[in-house]
């Protein structure tokens, strides 16, 4: 049978390549742990983290993050390298087996007919590890704790605790670049997240996180109960240090119970459910978080140092305020800017790779301009860019203006370089946090 291509030869190219967009709604909670060897693990609910027997503070942070209404669809956990970790018996039971699994090897201490002490359990497990010439950790006893240290922290085996044992503490790598190294490794393995919440409350560690985050298109959320923050005459506290550094990608909450609660994780869990541009970080209720009891002086001091609070406004209403980063910029503006940049970039790249050529002509320039216009309109739809509005004279004030050249007016040298220069100006929609109303009561309206 003859081939129809003799009459009509049809070739159809697929111009459907998609460029992956950035993720601006997933928080990552970062801390030292030995439960898994990968740098990042994904959780879609709190129970999954419990099944993995993550350390207590990590579980608290995840609980506070997932405990919001609405809650995030997923939360990621980032692993920092561990110098050593402490383990202790939680129940002291006669004849009980106390075991931990490191890689494929299980180490066990079996109690005698008399209930052991916690130190007995730690000593027994240490002895079993010491007897293994192929052990990948060293073991010591400190008081009631068994302290294990990976021989090679960068190439360790995951540790799984058996019944009656619990993590009691971790020592992360102490090198000055440890946070930067850990975050770079986390990012290189999985960069599909936006907000960072560190589990550790150590001031130097938080400052290292802030310094690293400022070099990335990410957002860092922290909380502290450092007493010096409440002293208006001091400028050496954590919040003052972060403010003086003008960090625009770090936002901090002063919280009385920051040592045991994670309002920063709860804040991320609550607001990251809202699309960038459609949110404000002020006036948010946080489930499972105890509001701080602060005076007006306390609030003004915290605000002046670039921080935020979560406190009662009425007996049953506790809210976050004011929703700023340490540079004084609104958190939502930083997040929306990052989202808009990613949207414009990915839309434009997708346009170019799905066409054989965009000519340097008026028609080609319009393809680029229309692509940009579509991205900016999307910014209006989500609420980050103001819509077209009328002024008091009835004149239309556009939400954005794009400036671009005619092909004939482009310098030949620029055209030869194949670079098109266009620009835009857009009006932020902003948000109303405070409403001031002046009124009066009278018997007439005159």
Task: Kindly report the three-state secondary structure assignment for every residue of 48-113.
Answer: HHHHCCCCHHHHHHHHHHHCCCCCCCCEEEEEECEEEEEEEECCCCCCCEEEEEECCEEEEEECCC
Strand partners, 396: 390
Same domain assignment for residues 190 and 159: no
Q: What is the CA radius of gyration of the chain?
A: 28
Q: Are residues 66 and 181 in the same domain?
A: yes
Distance, CA of 106 to CA of 389 (rounded, Å)? 69
User: pLDDT digits over 382-431, tens only?
Assistant: 999 999 999 999 999 999 999 999 999 999 999 999 999 999 999 999 99
* pLDDT, mean over the chain: 94
Residue-level pLDDT at 297: 98
Can you give the pTM of this predicted structure? 0.93
pLDDT digits over 344-367, tens only? 999 999 999 999 999 999 999 999
In this prediction, residue 3 has a pLDDT band, given cuts at 50, 70 and 90, of confident
Asked if residue 252 and residue 125 are part of one domain, the reply reads no
Region 219-248 average pLDDT:
98
Query: Which of 172, 206, 228 corresponds to the end of one domain?
Result: 172
pLDDT at 16: 64
Q: Note whether 326 and 181 are same-domain residues.
A: yes
Q: How many domains does the chain have?
A: 3
The last residue of one of the domains, among 155, 172, 189, is: 172
What pLDDT does residue 4 have?
57
Q: What is the pLDDT of residues 150-200, one digit of tens each?
A: 999 888 999 999 999 999 999 887 666 799 999 999 999 999 999 999 999
Pair (219, 243) in one structural domain:
yes
């Amino acid at each position: 049978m003859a081939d129809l291509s003799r009459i009509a030869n049809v070739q159809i190219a697929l111009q459907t390549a998609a460029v992956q967009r950035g993720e601006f709604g997933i928080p990552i909670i970062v801390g030292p742990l030995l439960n898994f060897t990968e740098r990042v693990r994904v959780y879609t609910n709190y129970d999954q983290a419990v099944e993995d027997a993550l350390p207590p503070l990590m579980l608290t942070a995840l609980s506070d993050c997932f405990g919001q209404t609405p809650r995030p669809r997923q939360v990621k956990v980032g692993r920092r390298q561990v110098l050593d970790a402490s383990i202790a018996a939680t129940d002291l039971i006669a004849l009980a087996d106390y075991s931990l699994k490191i890689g494929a090897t299980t180490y066990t201490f079996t109690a005698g007919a008399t209930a052991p002490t916690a130190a007995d359990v730690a000593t027994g497990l240490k002895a079993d590890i010491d007897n293994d010439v192929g052990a990948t950790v060293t073991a010591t006893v400190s008081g009631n704790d068994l302290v294990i240290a990976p021989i090679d922290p960068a190439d360790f085996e995951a540790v799984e605790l058996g019944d009656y044992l619990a993590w009691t503490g971790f020592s992360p790598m102490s090198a000055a670049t440890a946070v930067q190294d850990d975050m770079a490794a986390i990012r290189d393995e999985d960069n599909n997240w936006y907000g960072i919440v560190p589990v550790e409350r150590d001031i130097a560690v938080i400052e290292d996180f802030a310094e690293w985050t400022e070099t990335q298109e990410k957002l860092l959320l922290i909380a502290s109960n450092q007493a010096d923050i409440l002293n208006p005459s001091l400028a050496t506290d954590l919040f003052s240090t972060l403010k003086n550094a003008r960090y625009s990608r770090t936002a901090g909450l002063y919280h009385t119970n920051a040592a045991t609660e994670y309002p920063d994780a709860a804040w991320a869990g609550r607001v990251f459910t809202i699309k960038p541009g459609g949110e404000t970080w002020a006036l948010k209720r946080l489930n499972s978080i105890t509001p701080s009891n602060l005076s007006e002086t306390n609030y003004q001091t915290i605000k002046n140092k670039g921080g935020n609070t979560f406190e009662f406004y009425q007996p049953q209403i506790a809210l976050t305020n004011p929703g700023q980063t340490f540079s004084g910029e609104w958190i939502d503006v930083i997040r929306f800017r990052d989202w808009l940049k990613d949207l414009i970039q990915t839309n434009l790249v997708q346009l170019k790779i799905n066409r054989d050529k965009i000519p340097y002509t008026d028609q080609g320039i319009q393809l680029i301009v229309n692509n940009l216009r579509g991205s900016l309109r999307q910014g209006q739809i989500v609420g980050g860019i103001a819509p077209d509005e009328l002024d008091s004279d009835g004149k239309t004030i556009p939400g954005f203006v794009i400036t671009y050249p005619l092909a004939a007016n482009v310098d030949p040298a620029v055209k030869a370089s194949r670079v098109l220069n266009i620009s835009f100006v857009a009006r932020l929609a902003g948000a109303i946090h405070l409403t001031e109303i002046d009124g009066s009561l009278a018997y007439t309206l005159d």
